[in-house]
């Protein structure tokens, strides 16, 4: 089913992990996609793998000038700005909360929170003028059911969930829907950071908290993203939907 046929979507952090899974699912559903990432080589490779339906965009979403230039390039290429996915995010290794270095805290808040503010300043006026739009923020189960050792990351995702709900209610009169996804620990390069390294014992510990018994995948997140950004979800706004195998129950 091509439920995003004719739509244009920009995905941040689309060169890797969930962002790449979302970009793949979006193009498979008929969308044209802006593949934005700070890693130019990986973004180029991802966009090439998606063919003519993709535009490679290299930008640092924490920098207003860099991010705005990429958003404008996308708008010129696409002709409309139907969907924005604020996916790019960074994690922290498990650390007692009082020991997290200020520079790491600042980077975390710049990428996970401040970039959503910057994106909104550029995109919301465009979507208001269009009279429609859809914004999807990638939060986390960490924002709903926090675990020790990742406090500032958990808090950043709680911020994303509250921002999503507030954006949804404020932008609804403009026919702009805003939703979030809360993935459980996923099979991406970020997983080892959250686990404090990768080993079968660490994986087993995480998996024991997921009733369905597996990590999330980029394909799981891509499928959920297609649904929430499609017209079939036209009455859904302000939700932060778990894709978590039952982890938050």
The residue ranges that bind ligand NAD (CB under 6 A) are: 12-13, 15-19, 37-39, 42, 60-62, 87-90, 111, 138, 140, 183, 185-186, 188-191, 194
What counts of helices (H) and strands (E) characterise the chain?
9, 7
Q: Which residues contact 27 (CB under 8 A, 6 or more apart)?
A: 33, 50, 51, 53, 54
When computed from its CA atoms, the radius of gyration of the chain, rounded to whole angstroms, is 17
Question: Contact at 8 Å (CB) between 26 and 9?
Answer: yes
Provide the minimum distance between the beta carbon of 46 and ligand NAD in the complex, in angstroms, as a whole number.
9
Provide the minimum distance between the beta carbon of 13 and ligand NAD in the complex, in angstroms, as a whole number.
3
Beta bridge partners of 54: 33
CA-CA distance, 149 to 194, in Å (whole number)?
9
CA-CA distance, 165 to 44, in Å (whole number)?
33
Does the active-site annotation cover 117?
A: no
> CA nearest 94: which of 223, 203, 195, 192?
195
Question: Contact at 8 Å (CB) between 221 and 243?
Answer: yes
CA-CA distance, 145 to 246, in Å (whole number)?
12
Q: Of the two residues 57 and 134, which places its CB atom closer to ligand NAD in the complex?
A: 57
Provide the minimum distance between the beta carbon of 115 and ligand NAD in the complex, in angstroms, as a whole number.
7
Provide the minimum distance between the beta carbon of 147 and ligand NAD in the complex, in angstroms, as a whole number.
12
CA 93 to chain CA mean position, Å: 20
Q: Of the two residues 13 and 133, which places its CB atom closer to ligand NAD in the complex?
A: 13
Q: Of the two residues 27 and 154, which places its CB atom closer to ligand NAD in the complex?
A: 154
Q: Of the two residues 60 and 104, which places its CB atom closer to ligand NAD in the complex?
A: 60
Provide the minimum distance between the beta carbon of 126 and ligand NAD in the complex, in angstroms, as a whole number.
20
Q: Of the two residues 128 and 248, which places its CB atom closer to ligand NAD in the complex?
A: 248
> CA nearest 232: which of 179, 184, 182?
179
Given 18, 81, 153, 194, which residue is catalytic?
153
Residues with a catalytic annotation lie at 153
């Amino acid at each position: 089913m091509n439920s995003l046929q004719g739509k244009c979507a920009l995905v941040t952090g689309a060169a890797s992990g969930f962002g790449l899974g979302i970009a793949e699912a979006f193009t498979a559903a008929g969308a044209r996609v802006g593949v934005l990432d700070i890693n130019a080589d990986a973004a180029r490779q991802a966009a090439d793998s998606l063919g003519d339906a993709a535009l490679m965009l290299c930008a640092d979403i924490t920098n207003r000038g860099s991010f705005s230039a990429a958003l404008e390039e996308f708008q010129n290429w696409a002709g409309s700005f139907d969907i924005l996915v604020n996916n790019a995010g960074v994690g922290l290794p498990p650390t007692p909360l009082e020991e997290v270095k200020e520079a790491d805290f600042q980077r975390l808040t710049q990428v996970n929170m401040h970039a959503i503010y910057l994106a909104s300043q550029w995109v919301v006026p465009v979507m208001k003028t269009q009279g429609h739009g859809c914004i999807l923020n990638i939060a986390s189960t960490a924002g709903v059911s926090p675990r020790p050792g990742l406090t500032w990351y958990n808090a950043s995702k709680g911020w994303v969930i509250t921002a999503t709900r507030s954006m949804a209610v404020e932008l609804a009169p403009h026919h702009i829907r805003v939703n979030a996804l809360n993935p459980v620990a996923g099979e991406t390069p970020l997983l080892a950071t959250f686990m404090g390294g990768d080993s079968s014992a660490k994986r087993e510990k995480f998996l024991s908290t997921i009733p369905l018994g597996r990590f999330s995948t980029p394909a799981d997140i891509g499928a959920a993203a297609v649904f929430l950004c499609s017209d079939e979800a036209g009455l859904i706004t302000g939700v932060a939907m778990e894709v978590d195998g039952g982890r938050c129950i």
